[in-house]
Amino acid sequence: MAIWSGWSLGIDVARVTASFSTKAIEVLVLLTATAIILPGAPKSFELSDKSLVVWSTLVSPLLAPIGPIGDDTLRLSAKAGDQEDQVTPERCEADPTIERVAVDEMVFPLGVYPIEPMEPKQGFTLEFESADGDDDSGDWEEWPDRYVYDIVISAERLPGLVQSLLALMPQRLFPILDVLGRDAFREIDPYISYERIGLDHLLDGLIRFRDFFFEDGLIGFGAMSDSPFLYIFVDEHKIVTVRAEPLIRDRVESVLRAFELKEREDPAGADAVAHEHRGILRVSEDRPDLLGVDEIVERLRDDWRLLLNVDPEQNNDDRGKPLGVTPWRCLVRTPGKSGMSRYAEILVTAGCLREAEDLAVDSILTDMEVEELEEPQVVAADRLGPKEFTKELGSELTKDQSELGQPKIWAQRWLTDESG
């Protein structure tokens, strides 16, 4: 009997049926969505009679180019991580001690939940936005006419919905990631790739770090394509926003119909009332394969080619106020002579992100016996408040603090050695 994860099944069928009608898309979604199960749900299940009929009459013949699927009682397993773990040992896991909140038929993500009584309502709103951007706007501002869907869905159904929407994307797209950061003057670290990556790379990240994406209440993620224009984003409340050009409106709404989601004026998720956010990842010294948020973001920056989506030549706060020269903590990675990555912390004062990164790399190359061939890479650069910077420097800071207003390398130290 063949065992398939919902992720691989969905994307393979999507590739075969890329040009099919919206009805075929609904059939695809009906089958693949049921293969996505949250931790704590039944480990495996039989397809319903209705699904088996649809499978045998409409979908199964379409999969001939892929190969045999299994016997007549197709069983889909939710242990999608079993095979991936053997290939990719690094992953993440939700803290098993966190209790999930559910109200009526609405299950909330572990990381965001209401703290007052509410009546949750699944469904979506629909609006039309006219094309924006002008001759002075960058490519990312020049969005065409589009329909905007804000979708509320129960947490156990969210991964299936996201997978089904991603199946509408072309094979190369731009990933997006928002993370609650450590910067003293910016709440969210917004990352985006300015290079198209393969859809398979995006899906690999979603599989490896499933709980991080679908359960953590401190991050948002998504993807964007420009031909056709399609923007999919899951925010920190796990509300899904879709922006789609009119050409693919029917395909998007076919997915929503397959999930029995209806347009309504008042869909209500956790953000409709007073609610709380929390991180949910389990980190344990005896489980080095379980990564924390910072490590996951570093892996995704490499794998998805993400860049911090801020102006590297300016130094402003969230409100756009210029800050001038500020303290920075930079984390720099080098492969080391042995090939094992090692990390250094560099404290600098600088007038913008680019200057802070340049100072950090200069410090590594000139003062810490690192060769240029080792290609030091800044993996994080966060601004510090004056009190935090003073605490970090300690005795390094003299009574005359006038130099704090000048670009300067203040301190550096290795956090790991050649052995990691």
pLDDT tens digits along 283-316: 888 888 899 999 999 999 999 999 999 999 999 9
Answer for the pair 173, 195: CB distance below 8 angstroms, yes or no: no
Answer for the pair 405, 324: CB distance below 8 angstroms, yes or no: yes
Measured distance CA(245)–CA(14) in Å, rounded: 20
Q: Are residues 209 and 75 in the same domain?
A: no
Structural domain including 354 reads 322-414
Give the pair of three-digit tokens for residue 54: 């649809």
Q: What is the largest CA-CA distance in the chain?
A: 80
Q: Considering its fold, how many domains does the chain have in total?
A: 3
Report CA Rg, the chain.
24
Measured distance CA(186)–CA(306) in Å, rounded: 18
pLDDT tens, position by position, 36-90? 434 443 333 333 433 433 433 344 333 333 333 333 322 333 344 444 444 446 8
Measured distance CA(356)–CA(312) in Å, rounded: 10
Query: Tell me, what's the pLDDT at 69?
Result: 31
Return mean pLDDT, the chain.
Answer: 81
Burial of 124 (0-12, 13-18, 19+ CB in 10 A): buried
Query: Tell me, what's the pLDDT at 397?
Result: 63
Q: Are residues 252 and 106 in the same domain?
A: yes
First to last CA, the chain: 43
Task: Please tell me the least confidently modeled range out of 35-39, 155-159, 362-366.
Answer: 35-39
Measured distance CA(262)–CA(121) in Å, rounded: 10
Q: Are residues 32 and 167 in the same domain?
A: no
In angstroms, what CA-CA distances link 179 with 5, 192, 244? 28, 11, 24
Q: Are residues 66 and 162 in the same domain?
A: no
| 291 located within any domain | no
| Angle, vertex CA 68, rays to CA 49 and CA 9, nearest 5 | 65
Answer for the pair 150, 239: CB distance below 8 angstroms, yes or no: yes
In angstroms, what CA-CA distances link 163 with 99, 112, 262? 25, 21, 19
| 394 located within any domain | yes
Query: Tell me, what's the pLDDT at 326?
Result: 96
pLDDT tens, position by position, 391-408? 888 766 655 566 788 999
Answer for the pair 118, 101: CB distance below 8 angstroms, yes or no: no
Q: Are residues 158 and 234 in the same domain?
A: yes
State pTM to two decimals.
0.78
Q: Are residues 67 and 170 in the same domain?
A: no
pLDDT > 70 fraction of the chain, expressed in percent and rounded: 72
Name the helix (H) or strand (E) containing 354.
helix 353-367
Phi, psi dihedrals of residue 417, rounded to the nearest 5°: -100, -170
Average pLDDT over residues 135-144: 61
| 316 located within any domain | no
Query: Tell me, what's the pLDDT at 142?
Result: 81
For tokens 């390398």, name the residue.
Answer: 409
Q: Are residues 330 and 404 in the same domain?
A: yes
Task: Please tell me the least confidently modeled range out of 19-23, 276-280, 303-307, 374-378.
Answer: 19-23
